[in-house]
Structure 1
């Protein structure tokens, strides 16, 4: 059999021993610590000596960060597929895409029947499993219209609501040995999961052939089906005593033919031996990966995902899909792929890109940028957050989606130095920093991605006390348009470092940021709901109080139009950056006089509690037209114009964020965000059919504005360029573009034209 070209996976097959539950969890944690990819567990619910496998899977997923989990294999006759589908999707979402579904038709029928399950013949078991796979995928397909309805003798579904969709495309791996099960594997499954000791070499060859033939007959490419293998009779503690019973080098030599000649690409060791697990992860797996990669290079084996003819028909013109580097293939999603619906949109905007590339590290970002430059289509970069401006997706182009690069590290607690990858969400950052007593002000919503916010500005709940997020960036790693990976700071490429802080999306793809966090534990969080009938008066009073408040107070105000005869409403959020309750009460009390307060609450809470990530799906469900501006003060005249806007019914929401304070302590030329005198940011958003009306209202407000907050502005017309980057910032940014992006590859954030004179301004220290 040929090598099917799959990325290699390595893992464990652990015993869910109910008599020593801590040990099996510790072995799973060791699986992750050893660098292995996957921990799997037996599922025999009728065995009183075993833990419930589903509960164990959930517990292990919660105790680990990177490890995939799966049953090996799940007992279908005791787990109805409609319920199983929701449980699987839920665990996958909770674990951020780390669940896979090993599934079996059933065995040990006395035990199944003893628990109330239905005894099936071998043929019935295959037919029931086929029904179940259809139900599983039907439940997960939230894009299909109407409820899921299935008729069948084993698992009829008269009508159920679909969803939730899993966080990633869950693989269904079948434990199969007999011809009918092997045929089902080729027709419907994503993988074959047998045990080596149950199959002689000729049997493995025959089984692979049956799977391949069934796949071809079903219109599938056999390479779509991963081949996994459980290994039980294994040992690294002895000299050569036989197959996989010897030192690591012997393992590599003996496993290599299973990959290259029989197509297996995942190996799971079935011994609860800590030393073996560690050796397997730290010595055998890396050596086998290297050996396989070397052989694949020499044989020019095609690697990466294989798509069906139906999926290939969905490819778009203008993109050379076959030229995609092998390093990116496994993480890329095309329009015909099942995961496409989950990656095509941002939270706020709908998109239909021709290709979504999801790199795992900076080296793959280099490959992605280098490849994208060769394609004559738009290029968008997405860190994984909301994308309010609409620039993190596109139609017919390429999206480099950084959501898989989501590590959060505390490098040095003493100096408060942290390192963030761009795909992390700020809610996760807050939770990761909290045990160290640290925090970073970062917007008002935990689902927002790190990369977009931390390269634009970052107006968060602590902004008046601690400044913008970019003001705490001390270094960045960035891939430039020519494919270089640079580390930039005050001494190394200082001009590029200046540009990253405020215009990062214009100059490259940031792959990591280092910041100096600050010490924050509990904060006082207050919310008011206010009758905004006197809209102008409310805005003016709120603005005046914010400017008079101590810096510990940061406030956001969201204004909503009247609905169903009710007056306009305002929701005011106030955060006191500290745990001094008496001082907070004194600072917050004046805000109770801004208007008729309909509801109020205040509490002392840990900072992560106010930016907890909700884990929203991104389906382009936001308001797709928005304008952004900055105000020095909320004057009565400006307040009157904004009151007219919200009373018109043409504007769905206006949000005001306080800045000033520590933001304005920074010199306007210190970063590419030059707006260091204003005290407020204002955003107005509406639905597409009222876009023209919003534009007219915004034109009335425009004379009162000075600058914009780039990430909230959907209009990138050239005449708005100076609002984002007023001179001399724009000229300086154009000079940086001329050096690092002379072809304007990164033109979606705002099409900043590189300076015609590409000579550098100032001096640069390259280190």
Structure 2
């Protein structure tokens, strides 16, 4: 049995025909709409009937939001690796980490030679590819000292500047069939990408063995290498006509052994058939994932060590791994596990936890908390992992990852009551509620998890019309430090229910939330790009317009420093909470006067279109040093200081988000979020080596601030507690902390010390 334990991925292998370019792009967009993960394109630059694959990849990346893209496979002889490395990193950065590199040694040599490239033998092609992989990774290693220099027979590099680094660690997948290429795959690649119909000699089992043996000889774990498979001779029909030619349930039955017995975890269909693409995404992929999960769980329930806990390359001495409850072993991930890289980091922070626990039920959360209490290591809780503050990962500790608890339910449409589990993403919530004509304001980024935002505040695109997310929470289910699962609301543990809404991370692990959604169908969504040369005047004008606008209008402003002689730039998002286009135009039009407008767009869209989840991998790629504050008004004095900050070159981005209106309709003491008089949330972010300069600049703005939005602040200095929870809120929270978490088990979320007796 050779199940390498990888997450299953599904996608398409599309024909890049030049005759109808819109058709191939539409199929790529359909791939994303069908819920698939990846689209790929063959690369034959000598074929004049095909679009250039790199241009097509770039175009599709711009037309999609979360879809991964790759060549299948790129022709190395016509794409020199030094240039390819920079192109790949650029496309990866532009697509926010969605590019992977499928690469081949070369085929169809008459065509390659006809375009001016050198013809190579099969053996030479393998060695050229080996050199190319080293060049690619050398260019991407932007932090390595000195320029990249490499001796090489095929791709010598006398000396070139490294970089740029890609947005994520790009996988290199090799199209390999013969023993030397398979060995190279094991030695250096991240994945093996063959086509099923071309696998003749060696066969699939032998090929996997050769890859594994080469990986071990190179000091690598074979589980690091993903096995992908192109499928061409496939069809979906009501009756069986052969292998992968029949109903969806037949596909699941026939693909299952490829996963469990041969280790394949990515399936790409090579037919430009819209119906097949939709069926793969909507029926086959979910059913196969469920079947694989069931089989893996069954394997893990035996007497021997589970695959999740057997990969023990580097164990933390302060953790008793053997004491982990049996209920948690299937979802546990530790260093050395194939899925570790996908769960160790958050969006903005890199981490190296000793153990990641992924419960699927509230009972398993109880087990996880009880186990964590017995271990002398840090404990973090993660819902979506996007949190800017960095509190949902750690080094050497335990992370309780709630991503598998992600259900979204409409309990009662008449009362608009919904139930959300903390691992759901807000973009997914929006999509699930839309068929009911419901919505819930929830930040501005669809990948954010429910749990963190809905226990801290929730400043979203509908905030001025409908308030904070926490203002709509009517009940919560929470596992407390002593291992109790409690339902809290106005009648049951009302003190804890009050604390959960604004400081929930300090009191336990929330396993579900019930909220009252509101009736929202379409909204008017507008985006402006403005020249911010006169930064202070623009900020002051924008702030005044927001406060004067009807409460149906919410606006966020992002400010970026000027680069290479260009002035600072502002991006303004405006959302009108309704489909009255005339009223929206009246509310939006004044914002065209904030400064020179470089670009403007406005459209009537379903609310989910404003928070589409991109599905980004989390690799610590965001800005990790942030400062947060609240403003009553964007005064000229505050605007001048913010202009100084963005012109300093030491602040990478500033964001202002409008609150006020409905947010301030709620009484100050109604929840543990007491900031009910301010009109704006302010964030400034930078890179670690410029944090001292950020702190100096922020200190000058601090006198104009009143309060802080907790999730946007990475400085956990206890002196800032009163910014987050001014008295009497803090004293009330400390008393509740003493009742429910006297040992301060949950101490990562701006630690609130329990009140002392007496």
Cα displacement string for residues 361-391 of structure 1 (whole angstroms, at most 9, x for unaligned residues): 8889888767655542223446678866564
Equivalent position SS for 1:5: coil
Name the TM-score, length of structure 1 as normaliser: 0.68
Q: 1:516 aligns with which of 496, 515, 518?
A: 518
Aligned to 2:750: 750
Q: Aligned ranges for residues 326-725 of structure 1 at < 5 Å?
A: 327-328=330-331, 347=348, 353-355=352-354, 357=356, 372-373=372-373, 375-381=375-381, 391-392=391-392, 394=394, 396-398=396-398, 452-458=452-458, 467-473=467-473, 496-509=496-509, 515-516=517-518, 520-521=523-524, 628=629, 661-677=661-677, 708-711=708-711, 721=721, 724-725=724-725
Change (3 A) 1:206 1:500: same
Partner of 1:144: 144
Query: Residue 188 of structure 1: CA displacement?
Result: 0.8
> 1:68·1:99 contact (CA, 8 Å) conserved in 2?
yes
**The residue matched to 1:505 in structure 2 has which SS?**
helix
Within-5 A mapping of 1:182-193: 182-193=182-193
Asked whether the equivalents of residues 474 and 489 of structure 1 are also in contact (C-alpha less than 8 Å), the reply is yes
Aligned residues: 724
Measured after TM superposition, the shift of residue 116 of structure 1 is 3.0
Post-superposition offset of 1:715? 6.4
The answer on 1:294 being equivalent to 2:298 is yes
Distance 1:298 1:668, change over 3 A: same
Output one character per residue of 1:46-75: Cα deviation in whole Å (capped at 9) or x when no partner: 344545444555566666666554443332
**Bigger mean CA deviation after superposition, 478-487 or 148-157:** 478-487
Q: Is the 8 A contact 1:507 1:741 kept in 2?
A: yes
Give the alignment of 1:17-96 within 5 angstroms. Answer: 18=17, 38-55=38-55, 57=57, 68-93=68-93
Structure 1 residues 28 and 358 mapped into 2: Cα distance closer, same or farther (>3 Å)? Answer: farther
Aligned residue in 1 for 2:212: 212
User: SS at 2:125's partner residue?
Assistant: helix
CA–CA distance in structure 2, aligned partners of residues 141 and 480 of structure 1 = 44
Note if contact 1:39-1:70 (Cα within 8 Å) is conserved in structure 2: yes
Relative distance call for 1:308 and 1:169 in structure 2 (3 A) is farther
Describe how 1:195-344 pairs up with structure 2 within 5 A: 195-199=195-199, 203-232=203-232, 259=259, 261-268=261-268, 270=270, 274=275, 278=280, 280-281=284-285, 286-287=290-291, 290-291=294-295, 293-295=297-299, 297-298=301-302, 300=304, 302-303=306-307, 312=314, 317-319=317-319, 327-328=330-331
What does the per-residue CA deviation read over 1:170-201, in whole Å, with 9 as the maximum and x for residues that have no partner?
33222222221122112111233334444469
Q: How has the CA–CA distance of structure 1 residues 6 and 754 changed in structure 2, closer, same or farther, with 3 Å as cutoff?
A: same
SS in 1 for 2:110: helix
CA shift for structure 1 position 110: 1.2
CA contact 2:2–2:260 (8 Å) conserved in 1: yes
- Computed over aligned residues only, the root mean square deviation of the Cα atoms, in angstroms, reads 6.4
| Contact 1:495-1:736 within 8 A present in 2 as well | yes
Aligned to 2:565: none
Match of 1:566 in 2: none
Matched, 1:9 2:8: yes
235 and 178 in structure 1: CA distance in 2 versus 1, 3 angstrom threshold: same
Contact 2:664/2:676 (<8 A) preserved = yes
Contact kept, 8 Å, 2:5 with 2:338, in 1: the verdict is no
Query: Would the alpha carbon gap of residues 176 and 698 (structure 1) be closer, same or farther in structure 2, given more than 3 Å must change?
Result: closer
Partner residue, 1:763: none
Taking structure 1 as reference, are residues 525 and 200 closer, same or farther at Cα in structure 2, changes over 3 Å only? Answer: closer
| Cα distance in 2, alignment partners of residues 570 and 169 from structure 1 | 29
Is residue 551–residue 661 contact of structure 2 (8 Å, CA) maintained in 1?
A: yes
* Contact 1:420/1:450 (<8 A) preserved: yes
* SS of corresponding position for 1:43: coil
Residues 196 and 576 (structure 1), Cα distance of their counterparts in 2 relative to 1, 3 Å cut: closer
Q: Deviations over 1:198-251 (max 9, x none)?
A: 446974444333323322221123333333444555677698887667777776
Distance 1:197 1:546 in 2: 60
SS at 2:44 equivalent = coil
Q: Deviations over 1:411-443 (max 9, x none)?
A: 999999999887899999999999999998777
**SS of residue paired to 2:668:** coil
Distance 1:175 1:531 in 2: 53
Take 2:683 and 2:31, find their aligned partners in 1: how far apart are those partners?
A: 48
Rate the CA distance shift 1:664–1:750 in 2: closer, same or farther, 3 A: same
Is the contact between residue 41 and residue 53 of structure 2 (CA under 8 Å) also seen in structure 1? yes
Distance 2:57 2:535 in 1: 50
Residues 480-523 of structure 1, C-alpha deviations (whole Å, 9 max, x = no match): 65778888766887655533321132234557775537675267
Structure 2: where are the runs of 5+ without partners?
561-567
What is the aligned partner in structure 2 of residue 104 from structure 1? 104
**Superposed displacement of residue 125, structure 1:** 0.4
Moved more, 660-669 or 159-168: 159-168
Secondary structure of 1:227 counterpart: strand
Tell me which residue corresponds to 1:760: none
SS state at 2:307 partner: coil
Find the aligned partners of 1:553 and 1:242 in 2 and give their Cα distance: 57
> How far apart, in 2, do the equivalents of 1:419 and 1:369 lie?
22
Structure 1 residues 307 and 735, CA, compared in 2 at 3 Å: closer, same or farther?
Answer: same
259-268 or 664-673, which deviates more = 259-268
Q: 2 CA distance for matches of 1:403 and 1:95?
A: 24
Contact map agreement 1:44 1:75 (CA 8 A) in 2: yes
Instruction: Give the CA deviation at 1:94.
Output: 5.4
Contact 1:503–1:672 (8 Å) recurs in 2: yes
**TM-score (norm. length: structure 2):** 0.69
Larger radius of gyration: 1
Deviations 1:258-290 (A, max 9, x none): 555544444555556646964744656644554
* Secondary structure at 1:748 match in 2: coil
Aligned residue in 2 for 1:123: 123
